[in-house]
């Protein structure tokens, strides 16, 4: 048995874990999770840089609908959380039969919801760019990108669901490997689909490289195909090969029952509401930035992607916090849950601050990887240097929220996020953007992320956030 599995079993069996062992387990879990975030970030970089080579217009078309794709993606992630947290608690209590029961029901529910999201997205794809205030010249590309994205939403949902289920039982490595594979496939598909057939010179040799020349459409299709292949593989490893959750090796019903659905909705409901209102705020942000023109839209979109290199350790630590807190509370060990929340928080903030320093000094070089437009690079670099001062607060909010999700505590943290985004970011953006342009919007975001971090730290200061143990009055 691997050291990570031995330590996780120690949590479930009530064995004492020294501080050194807790730190070691945290690092063993977060390492693959951070690698997975890195692969996801690279995926965004690849899409952005390939389309960016086509000019500011195609880049702006993707940036215009990016907040809408995040909205759908956020719903898909929230769907799975309501079930994965229950699975983590059941595994912590050594009740693997109940965990598989939740997995079966969750799979049926999230797949049904994803089909609804896909259909709804396709219905609004044509008018969406106009609703968002995009320039007429980029609306056709933006609509086409969003349509293709929506076609692959069920596969994206399966991928998200499979990853969260694997992570909640302590398997962080396989999701990371799948994300890396998706990144490689995305490069290949984009290379063939975005660009037309052309002559390429390599090591003194010139040859013809076939290409579909689909531009923005090729970027969406390439990503969708990569997601589909990895989703199928993730489902195979989860449903067939996984030792604890391989439901195809154990008989059981996929029919949802009310106790499981009530608990899932208790967790996912606030996350759904948070996603709707927060992504709505991001769409409102798009409406604020869109009138600034294609250069500002492209710079804003690329700067957000570039910043993601800073917060990937935070999300990796947040995933680890959800797993460790969930299993600790499932084993009725609040002391461990609180300790893991503190350890992951310290590492998450420390790592993101170090990367913020790198981002500050290499902002122009990073933006240069994403765009060939000098104006886009210069404006995006200014945004990144400003945002470097928000990473500590952002890290605190990400990891603290991950710990709360592991405890099933989603209502108050979601409310705190909503208050922060709407009352601070949007209000300040409305006031500052007309006067300072895109920099005004990023000043508003800098202030808001630090406020959000302070609010989430306040939430986990005591023990109340851990009083949501889903195994109390267990009926599954």
- Per-residue pLDDT of 103-121, as tens digits, reads 999 999 999 999 999 999 9
**Selected residue with higher pLDDT from 2 and 148:** 148
The pLDDT of 84-96, averaged and rounded, is 89
> Using 50, 70 and 90 to split pLDDT, how confident is the model at 275?
confident
> How large is the C-alpha radius of gyration of the chain?
22
Q: What are the structural domain ranges in the chain?
A: 3-198+209-466
Q: What is the mean pLDDT of residues 382-411?
A: 94
Cα 323 to its chain centre, rounded Å, is 16
Confidence of residue 468 (pLDDT cuts 50, 70, 90): low
What is the arithmetic mean of pLDDT over 134-154? 93
| Each residue's pLDDT tens digit, 172-208 | 889 888 888 888 898 889 889 988 888 887 767 788 8
Residue-wise DSSP of 15-45: ----HHHHHHHHHHHHHHHHHHHHHHHHHHH
Q: Tokens for 439?
A: 């920099």
Mean pLDDT of 397-422: 92
Q: Give the mean pLDDT of the chain.
A: 88
* Residue 349 reports pLDDT greater than 50: yes
Tell me: pLDDT of 473 over 50. no
pLDDT of residue 1: 64
> Predicted confidence band at 45 (pLDDT cuts at 50, 70, 90)?
low
Quickly count: other Cβ atoms within 10 Å of residue 365's Cβ.
10
- In the predicted model, is pLDDT for residue 236 greater than 80? yes
Q: Point out the least confidently predicted range of 212-216, 305-309, 331-335, 426-430.
A: 305-309
**CA angle, 436 then 439 then 440, to 5°:** 55
Instruction: Encode pLDDT of 46-61 as tens digits.
Output: 666 777 777 778 878 8
In tens, the pLDDT along 420-451 reads 999 999 999 999 999 999 999 999 999 999 99
Mean pLDDT confidence for 375-380: 94
Q: Kindly tell me the sign of the dihedral angle through the C-alpha atoms of 75, 455, 172, 349.
A: positive
Residue 80 is encoded by which pair of tokens?
């799975």
Task: Identify the three-state secondary structure at position 142.
Answer: helix
Report residue 373 as tokens: 């437009």
For 251, half-sphere exposure in the C-beta direction (CA atoms, 13 angstrom radius) is 0
pLDDT band at 44 (very low <50, low <70, confident <90, very high): low
pLDDT for 475 equals: 38
Nearest to 278 by CA among 131, 445, 469, 134: 445
DSSP-assigned beta bridge partners for residue 201? 206
pLDDT by residue (tens digit) across 77-86?
888 888 998 9
Report pLDDT digits (tens) over 315-346: 889 989 998 999 999 888 999 999 999 999 99
Nearby residues of 16 by Cβ (< 8 Å), 6 or more positions away: 10
Query: Which pLDDT value is given to residue 230?
Result: 95
Is residue 470's pLDDT more than 70?
A: no
What is the predicted pLDDT for the residue at 474?
A: 45
- Among residues of the chain, what percentage have pLDDT more than 90? 46
pLDDT exceeds cutoff 70 at 263: yes
Sign of the Cα torsion 161, 165, 170, 174 reads: negative
């Amino acid at each position: 048995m691997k050291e990570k599995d031995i330590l996780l079993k120690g949590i479930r069996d009530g064995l004492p874990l020294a501080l050194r062992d807790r730190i070691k387990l945290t690092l063993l879990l977060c390492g693959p999770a951070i690698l997975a975030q890195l692969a996801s970030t690279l995926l965004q970089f690849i899409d952005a840089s390939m389309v960016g080579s086509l000019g500011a217009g195609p880049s702006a078309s993707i940036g215009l609908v990016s907040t809408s794709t995040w909205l759908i993606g956020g719903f898909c992630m929230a769907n799975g959380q309501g079930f994965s947290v229950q699975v983590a608690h059941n595994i912590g209590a050594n009740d693997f039969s109940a965990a598989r029961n939740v997995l079966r029901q969750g799979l049926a529910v999230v797949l049904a919801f994803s089909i609804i999201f896909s259909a709804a997205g396709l219905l609004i794809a044509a008018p969406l760019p106009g609703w968002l205030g995009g320039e007429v010249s980029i609306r056709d590309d933006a609509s086409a990108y969003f349509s293709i994205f929506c076609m692959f939403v069920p596969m994206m949902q399966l991928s998200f669901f499979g990853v969260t289920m694997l992570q909640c039982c302590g398997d962080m490595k396989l999701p990371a490997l799948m994300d890396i594979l998706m990144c490689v496939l995305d490069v290949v598909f984009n290379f063939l689909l975005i660009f037309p057939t052309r002559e390429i010179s390599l090591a003194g040799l010139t040859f013809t490289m076939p290409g579909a020349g689909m531009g923005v459409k090729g970027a969406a299709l390439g990503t969708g195909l990569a997601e589909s292949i990895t989703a199928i593989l993730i489902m195979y490893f989860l449903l067939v090969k996984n030792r604890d959750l391989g439901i195809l090796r154990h008989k059981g019903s996929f029919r949802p029952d009310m106790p499981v659905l009530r608990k899932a909705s208790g967790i996912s409901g606030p996350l759904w509401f948070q996603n709707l209102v927060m992504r709505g705020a991001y769409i409102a942000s798009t409406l604020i930035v869109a009138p600034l023109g294609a250069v500002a839209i492209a710079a804003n979109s690329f700067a957000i992607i570039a910043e993601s290199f800073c917060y990937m350790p935070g999300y990796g630590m947040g995933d680890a916090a959800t797993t460790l807190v969930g299993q600790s509370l499932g084993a009725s060990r609040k002391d461990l849950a609180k300790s893991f929340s503190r350890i992951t928080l310290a590492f998450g903030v420390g790592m993101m601050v170090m990367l913020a320093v790198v981002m500050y000094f290499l902002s122009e070089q990073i933006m240069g990887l994403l765009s060939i437009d000098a104006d886009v690079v210069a404006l995006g670099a200014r945004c990144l240097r400003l945002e470097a001062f928000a990473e500590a607060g952002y890290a605190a909010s990400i990891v603290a929220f991950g710990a709360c999700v592991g405890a099933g505590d989603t209502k108050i943290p979601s409310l705190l996020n909503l208050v922060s985004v709407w009352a601070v970011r949007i209000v300040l953006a409305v006031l500052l953007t007309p006067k300072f342009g895109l920099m005004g919007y990023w000043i508003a975001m800098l202030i808001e992320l630090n406020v959000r971090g302070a609010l989430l730290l306040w939430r986990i200061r005591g023990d109340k956030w851990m009083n949501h143990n889903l195994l109390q009055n267990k009926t599954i």
